Structure 1
């Protein structure tokens, strides 16, 4: 009978969260939603605007798509403009972004590892200078870099865009901090006892343990170089060397009585977003694996 009475007894009412706690949780949610809209709406607008012609861009509501074949027309005009120079701009962007990001990852990874795991005269001062350089806007260095490379006759070529991107103070700082936290000194000492050289230790042990930081540096550098406009604008003056940013900017300049190619530029911007999306989707698993491994170690 006691068991039956217990089974028939109504369940106690669920406790409600305090009102102040609900309001506190609501504020971050609203902020995140506003931030998400701020990031997503421009992409949505680009998708919709790519379906419109030049005239429809200014005569129709911003978020109202058209289905008159404007998207196909814009894409065809983009890839056939000036004998298909868009292909050349895309290849140049890949060369600058992939080459610059890869070289910068190697240089910054090695520098950060050296600063994090070795002590040598001037290492503390050097690291403080690097931290101070993080606060310096990179846009301020474009003109000095141009003047320096011009003295050696190295402007208006691929090296003029790649060389200034090799060293990133923030990337060195990130790799230095990550090396101190992830590369165990006991593992390095064990490798030295086994006869491994310092370069062998870095390549076989340090680089593997630094892989999440190196992937992050590569991604940040790739995005920064891919979206960089000022440095190519200062260093280059030949259409055949332009990246996508400078090439598409040239289509917006009204010259010779020709109207600006807004619809072609929007189509080009849409195409230029695709490599960034692919890169994010393909590299995110490295961060996920690192977070899981960190949780297991804890």
Structure 2
């Protein structure tokens, strides 16, 4: 005769404890969906509020800064501020815009191409010292750019290019972190079989890179391009060390020079804020226009 089957409650056993999103039992309050969303909203506001302040302040006159709060809109003086900005010092701000466009636009394009080619070579070409070269590249990532300003100035002085366009432009053409990213993209996006097939067909290494590897690394190229563009556009210390001619200043250095006069000449305050607002616009446009390629590039570069 078999014993009657007893339920878990009759045996005195506890029911298995269920955890997870369905019951919420055992879940940390810091990992709940509401907490995560709250933290994301706070982080977004922290990032957006300075831009909101910049937009509202760019519409104010000199007197409005002392009569209105930080985020309060006053009389719409953006047009007058823009006119004064472009007329100040015989329109030197237009020269700063042109210089920043040349430094960041042309420098980012050539720099991204050089970094992509270097990363592809380290990843896919077999040559002596390849691992040592990649190790040196990784070591270069750890060196802050400000620590290189003095050595770069001494090199530029030996080449007699201090206070010229080339003193700022040439050091910006490559970046160790861009080479590192390009190597990761090349490993993930360019199959070795495709390269070998192209070599069998008689294609040279340059042709393989420009016609086969570079299109496959398009997302990686755009990612490196964005990093280069943002880094060069926001570059301040290198132009500060290299340049003394205001006609060669980028926007960052020129606006800084004006900001040092605000305490003595309050009329520069609207110019500095309006110029800073214009300096942010290209960065926002670059991320909006290229965000799809940038996000897919980061995802593909993380897979090996």
TM over 0.5: yes
- Please, what TM-score do these two structures have when normalized by structure 2? 0.86
1:142-181, aligned counterparts within 5 Å? 142-181=149-188
| 1:290 Cα deviation from its structure 2 partner | 6.0
Query: How far, CA to CA, are the matches of 1:134 and 1:203 in structure 2?
Result: 26
For 1:199, the equivalent position in structure 2 comes to: 206
Say if 2:222 and 2:290, in contact at 8 Å, map to a contact too. yes
**1:250 lines up with 2:248 in the alignment:** no
Contact 1:223–1:276 (8 Å) recurs in 2: yes
- The answer to whether residue 48 in structure 2 is matched with residue 40 in structure 1 is yes
- How far the C-alpha of 1:258 sits from its partner, in A, is 3.5
Over aligned residue pairs, what C-alpha RMSD do you find? 2.3
Displacement of 1:277? 1.6
- 1:51 touches 1:70 (CA, 8 Å); kept in 2? yes
Whole-Å Cα distance in 2 between the matches of residues 41 and 19 of structure 1?
Answer: 37
Confirm or deny: 8 A CA contact 2:259 2:272 kept in the other structure.
yes
Report the Cα offset of residue 157 of structure 1. Answer: 1.1
Q: Among residues 55, 59, 66, which one is paired with 2:63 in the alignment?
A: 55
8 Å CA contact 2:262–2:268 kept in 1: the answer is no
Q: How has the CA–CA distance of structure 1 residues 158 and 293 changed in structure 2, closer, same or farther, with 3 Å as cutoff?
A: closer
Aligned residues: 280
Question: Normalized against structure 1, the TM-score is what?
Answer: 0.87
Q: 1:38-84 CA distances to partner (integer Å, 9 max, x unpaired)?
A: 11010000011111122322332111111x23222211111111121
* Distance in 2 separating the partners of 1:112 and 1:257: 50
Q: What is the aligned counterpart of 1:136 among 136, 143, 161?
A: 143
Question: Aligned partners of 1:234 and 1:288: how far apart in 2?
Answer: 34
Asked whether 1:27 is paired with 2:35, we answer yes
- Corresponding position of 1:107: 114
Following TM superposition, by how much is the alpha carbon of 1:114 offset from its aligned partner in structure 2, in angstroms?
A: 0.3
Q: 1:87 to 1:291 in 2, by over 3 A?
A: closer
CA distance in 2, matches of 1:100, 1:235: 16
* Residues 207-246 of structure 1 mapped to structure 2, 5 A cutoff: 207-246=214-253
**Per-residue Cα deviation, 1:156-194 (whole angstroms, up to 9, x for no partner):** 111111111112000000001110111000011111111
Deviation (angstroms), 1:254? 2.5
Paired residues of 1:157 and 1:241 also in contact (CA < 8 A)? yes
**Deviation at residue 252 of structure 1 after TM alignment:** 1.4
1:116 aligned onto 2:123: yes
Q: Provide closer, same or farther for how the CA distance between residues 284 and 256 of structure 1 changes in structure 2, counting only shifts above 3 A.
A: closer
The aligned counterpart of 1:9 is none
1:281-296 residue pairs with structure 2 within 5 A?
281-287=288-294
| Structure-2 separation of matches of 1:134 and 1:179 | 18
Unaligned runs of 5+ in 2: 1-20
* Residue 3 of structure 1: aligned partner: none
Q: CA deviation at 1:18?
A: 1.5
Secondary structure of 1:81's match? Answer: helix
Distance 1:258 1:178, change over 3 A: same
Q: Deviations over 1:99-118 (max 9, x none)?
A: 11111112111110000002
